[in-house]
Structure 1
Amino acid sequence: MEVVALIGPSGSGKSHRALAVARDYAAEAIIDDGLLIQGSRILAGVSAKEQPTRVGAIRTALFSDPDHAREVQERLAAITPRRLLVISTSREMAERITSRLQLPPPSIWVDITEVATPKEIARARQIRSQLGKHVIPAPTVEVKPRFNGPFIEPLKTFLRRRQAPPGKKKNLWVEQTTVRPTFNSLGHFYIAHNAVAQLAVYLVTAAGLANPRVQVENRNGNLVLNLEVAAPYGVYWPPLLRAAQKRVKSMITNMTALEIEAVNITVRGIKFTDDRL
């Protein structure tokens, strides 16, 4: 199976143009926001746009739930597409999706700027920011039984394709669905670095380390956690520290959907059995 990735910032119109891009690159199925779509049918998955919070939407789009990932994997194995289109906001996200679904990494990369004009992208962003509307590249008759959001309506769109295989029409009509998820109608929320630090303190303490001090750095949207701890006396430290690193990264990622780039742990003291350093 060959994987094509369509990437672009959130709200830039990727889902809106997904069907046209799939036709241009002869992709037989699409992975978009947690759904597996083939033609005009949703074959498997759960829509990220159905989730009540933005964190839940991100986790769904990344197939963080093993049962969700397994359902889509099994359906892909049944239909065996020769080429699959994966929609994502970045190269890293596309690679994480393919890894979770045990697919080969993308071999073809398509940026939204290659298939949509700056004016079209600006219009898509305006609609997203002002109206909170999202597009699912499937007909309303397919989406409605699965979606419990407060707003749903059909959308028939005339898409202008920048390229077309021989014998194919350059332009095409497609039926899609416009939805407004709950997380778009409730405003925004933020996870403060202090909350992340408190989680890290709890997790390393539970792992047997003491007196943790945490510094959180933001590196281009990814977090780096620097921890200073006291390690127990009489214990071989490397396995303990590695286990603490993995626990902090996995648990915070699962609870917040934030990207943790690194967890650096420095031993600055020794924890004796009588709790004296």
Structure 2
Amino acid sequence: MIVHSLSGPSGTGKSTSAIQFAYENQIEAIIDDGLLIINGEKIAGTSAKFEKNTITAVRRAIFQDEEHRMMVLKALKEYQIQSILIIGTSDKMTKKIAKRLQLEPINYIHHIEEIRSNREIQMAKFIRNTQGKHVMPIPYRQVEQNFFKRFIQRGFDIFSKNKVKLGETTIVQPDFHQQIIYISKTVYVDLVRYLISQYRVIAKIDTVHFVMKDYHQILYITVYLASPVNYDVQDKMRGLQQLIAEQFIRHFEFEPSAIRLNIKGIV
């Protein structure tokens, strides 16, 4: 069996990327948080996200429970899998999982920074820290809903570049994820308004609209330019976009997916 591993810190989007990454690299199966997944479907195992605390969640993810381990081992043999992707928070963790499932040595070691952009990783970490959302790369119908007291919803479909559906995700908020930081949308808008008010070539702010939709945060800004226009407008507007992006990273540790500036007129 050819064994791949994908490592990265918690909340960086490994589970979100797993199905497409496996498809692109012709990998048949995935081991993620205690689950064996084939063709986007849960085949065996119990998710670590069902656990009540982080200690038991880690034990579940690395197959410390013998009954759980044997269940997945049996499925691996039954399906005669030729290639597999092991997901973990570190290379040490993926190697431990490979050993427990008799899959060592790992042939190819990958890291999340190789398959996701810095912006995507920042956004994933922001959503994890502020909303406590965890992604499971299996369909909603396969998630045992009675395990989750607080939050569970359908995620999104995953497609190949040729628009072939590869699988689905489910978004959950495990019981062990207790710390959530709430940030009101007005905070983002107030910061943008303040930054623009300090930008000399802007005479007036008409509207600032901030749309937050899972992994896409878009700013819509409408302004009036200051007269006389004896400056390079495009250059100044790009400078404003860059300023806003830098300040979002500084204060919230993520950069908006898009900052759309509309110039309504000149004052």
Mark yes or no: TM-score above 0.5.
Answer: yes
With over 3 angstroms needed to count, the CA separation of the structure-2 counterparts of 1:106 and 1:149, relative to structure 1, is farther
Equivalent residue, structure 2, for 1:181: 174
Give the Å deviation of 1:139.
0.7
Q: What is the distance in 2 between the residues matched to 1:149 and 1:36?
A: 24
After superposition, where does 1:1-277 map in structure 2 within 5 Å?
A: 1-144=1-144, 147-157=147-157, 169=162, 174-185=167-178
Name the TM-score, length of structure 1 as normaliser.
0.61
Q: Give every structure 1 segment of 4 or more consecutive aligned residues whose post-TM-superposition deviation is greater than 2 Å.
A: 144-150, 168-174
Give the Å deviation of 1:33.
0.3
Equivalent residue, structure 2, for 1:263: none
Structure 2: segments with no counterpart, 5+ residues: 181-267
CA deviations on 1:142-200 (whole Å, 9 max, x unpaired) are 113574342111111556x7xxxxxx63886742000000011367xxxxxxxxxxxxx
CA deviations on 1:206-248 (whole Å, 9 max, x unpaired) are xxxxxxxxxxxxxxxxxxxxxxxxxxxxxxxxxxxxxxxxxxx
- Please, what is the CA RMSD of the aligned residues? 2.0
Residues 148 and 173 of structure 2 are in contact (CA less than 8 Å); yes or no, is this contact kept in structure 1?
no
With over 3 angstroms needed to count, the CA separation of the structure-2 counterparts of 1:158 and 1:66, relative to structure 1, is closer
Q: What is the distance in 1 between the residues matched to 2:176 and 2:157?
A: 25
Q: What is the distance in 2 between the residues matched to 1:33 and 1:140?
A: 16
Letter in 2 for 1:97: I
Residues 50 and 149 of structure 1 are in contact (CA less than 8 Å); yes or no, is this contact kept in structure 2?
no
With over 3 angstroms needed to count, the CA separation of the structure-2 counterparts of 1:91 and 1:77, relative to structure 1, is same
Residues 12 and 124 of structure 1 are in contact (CA less than 8 Å); yes or no, is this contact kept in structure 2?
yes
With over 3 angstroms needed to count, the CA separation of the structure-2 counterparts of 1:149 and 1:106, relative to structure 1, is farther
Letter in 2 for 1:27: I
Q: What is the distance in 2 between the residues matched to 1:65 and 1:141?
A: 25
Q: What is the distance in 1 between the residues matched to 2:115 and 2:18?
A: 10
Residues 148 and 175 of structure 2 are in contact (CA less than 8 Å); yes or no, is this contact kept in structure 1?
no
User: Alignment partner of 1:184: what SS?
Assistant: coil
With over 3 angstroms needed to count, the CA separation of the structure-2 counterparts of 1:148 and 1:2, relative to structure 1, is same
Give the Å deviation of 1:4.
0.6
Give the Å deviation of 1:103.
1.2
Name the TM-score, length of structure 2 as normaliser.
0.63
Give the Å deviation of 1:69.
0.6
Identity over aligned pairs, percent: 39
User: Alignment partner of 2:124: what SS?
Assistant: helix
Residues 6 and 88 of structure 1 are in contact (CA less than 8 Å); yes or no, is this contact kept in structure 2?
yes
